[in-house]
Amino acid sequence: MPSNTDSSEFVPAMAEIAREAGALLIKYFEARVKIEYKGEVDLVTEADRKSEALILERIRAQWPNHDVMGEEGTRIESGSDYRWYVDPLDGTTNFAHGFPVFCVSLALEFKGQRIAGVVYDPTRNELFSAEQGRGAYLNNRPIRVSAVDNLAECLVATGFPSHKRHKNPNVFFYHQITLRTHGVRRAGSAALDLCSVACGRFDAFWEFNLNPWDTAAGVLIVEEAGGQVSDFSGAPFNINSRETLASNSLVHEAMLAEFDAVFKGRGLEELPSPVEYAKSRGKAIK
C-alpha cells in the first residue's frame, strides 16, 4: 500500500481498474441492457451498478482504509485522508440508447486535493490520466489543451442536466455561445467532455449542476494539460460547486464575459420566432 502521497503509485492501478470496468461495460453495451429510472429522465442500468461494485471491490482490496464516494450509492466515510470519486458509467443515457459515448471515471483526493485521475473510454480504447504536478496523458502520451485564443474559432461543449431540467437556464447559454463560436457539442458524457478539452479536441466546456464523480478526474486532467477550470464567475473550481467551466485557459476570459452578459440579460441575440417561421412555410424558399 502506498505510504505517501506520490500519485504515480496510484495511476497504474487506477488505469487497470478503469480498463477492467470498461470491459465489463462493453459486454453489457453489446447485449443492450434494460433501462430503469432513478428520476423522471434519470436513467440507470445493471451495468452502472455492476461496474461500481467491481471498482469498489478493487479499491477496497488494495486500499482498505480509503474513503469512497460512488454515484450508485457507495459512501465510505471513515475520515481517511484519501477519498475516491467513482463514476462507474458516465454517459448512461447514451449507453442505454446504444450511442457509443460513455466512460469510467476515477479520481483520488488526498487531504482534499485531487492527486490522481483516470477516465477510460472503452469504445475507443482511450485512457486519459493525470497525476498532480506530472502532466496529463492519453494512452501514456502527453496531451495539451488547444492553442486557439479567439472564441469565434472555438469548438465548445456543454451538457444538460437530467435532474430539475425545467429549472435550468442552460439553453440560453447554449444559444448564445453557439452564435459566438464554431459550435457547441452536447455529447452526453461530462468526464469525456473534460478530457476532450484536455487533449485539444474542444477548446472549452461548461455545465450546470454536475456532481463530484462527474468532474473530479476530468478537472485534474484539464489542469494538468495546461487548461483552466473555474465556476461561472471565474472563482477557482470547487468539487462541490454546481458550476463547471473548463477551457484551454486562453479563451477563459472570453467565456466568462459571455456568461456575465447572459446572466445580466445583456447582448442576447434574439431567437427567431417559430410562429413567424411556420407562417412562411410552403412559400417559395429563396
Binder to Ca ion among 67, 109, 131, 214 (CB under 5 A)?
A: 214
Q: State the nearest-atom distance from the C-beta of 87 to Ca ion, in Å.
A: 4
Of 38-77, which residues contact ligand IPD (CB under 6 A)?
71
Q: Which residue is nearest to Ca ion (CB)?
A: 90
218 lies in the site for ligand IPD, by CB under 6 A? no
215 lies in the site for ligand IPD, by CB under 6 A? no
DSSP annotation of 84 reads E
Of 78-97, which residues contact ligand IPD (CB under 6 A)?
87, 90-93
Of 81-100, which residues contact Ca ion (CB under 5 A)?
87, 89-90
Q: State the nearest-atom distance from the C-beta of 209 to Ca ion, in Å.
A: 11
Q: Say if strands 103-110 and 82-90 run parallel, antiparallel, or are unpaired.
A: antiparallel
* Stretch of residues binding Ca ion (CB under 5 A), selected from 5-13, 71-79, 120-128, 137-145: 71-79
What does 258 interact with, of Ca ion, ligand IPD, none (CB < 5 to 8 A by kind)? none
How far from the centroid of its chain's Cα atoms is residue 277's Cα?
Answer: 36
Separation CA 183–CA 44 (nearest Å): 30
Separation CA 223–CA 230 (nearest Å): 11
Separation CA 274–CA 90 (nearest Å): 34
Q: Which is nearer to ligand IPD, 220 or 250 (CB)?
A: 220
Distant-in-sequence, close-in-space partners of 274: CB < 8 Å, separation ≥ 6: none
Q: In what order do the strands lie in the sheet with 141-143?
A: 75-76, 67-70, 82-90, 103-110, 113-121, 126-131, 136-138, 141-143
Binder to ligand IPD among 22, 117, 122, 161 (CB under 6 A)?
A: 161
Residues that bind Ca ion (CB under 5 A): 71, 87, 89-90, 214
